Amino acid sequence: MNNTTVRRVLVADDDPDILDLLTLNLECHGYQVHPAADGEEARALALQLVPDLIVLDVMMPKLDGLEVLAALKAHPQTREIPVVMLTAKASDSDVWQGWQAGADYYITKPFDLDELMRFIGYLQVNSAV
């Protein structure tokens, strides 16, 4: 991991409390966090900032997480960015849909913060290599 650059993370969730929770944790781990409250904002910010990592909630107004994911994977600038999907939908078919759409990680609410942070760290190490 390259410690000299601050990793930038885009977090999108329509529930302000969840957004706050993720922001707090990521900041404490030394990330620079850019919050987005809906899908459209998330897509616009991703294209503008080209962050190192994106955390997307699936159920969001305007554009849902899967639509944002598809848009990001279709764009050459954002195609390579690792994406973690968050969802309160827990059925097998929902999870499968997420993986199919090209998510790098798929985690259901209520999520284990330790696991999520560990995985985000792992993704960062990999992309640094």
Q: Show the site string, 92-121: x = touches another protein by CB under 8 A, - = not.
A: ----------------xxxxxxx-------
The nearer residue to another protein, 77 or 91, going by C-beta atoms, is 91
User: Which residues neighbour 122 within 8 Å (Cβ) at sequence distance 6 or greater?
Assistant: none
DSSP string computed for 20-38: HHHHHHHHHTTPEEEEESS
Residue 60 interacting with another protein (CB under 8 A): yes
The CB-of-40 to another protein minimum distance in angstroms stands at 11
Which tokens in the block code for residue 57?
A: 């909630």
| Region near another protein per CB under 8 A, out of 45-53, 67-75, 87-95, 120-128 | 87-95
Half-sphere exposure at residue 40, Cβ-oriented, CA atoms within 13 angstroms: 2
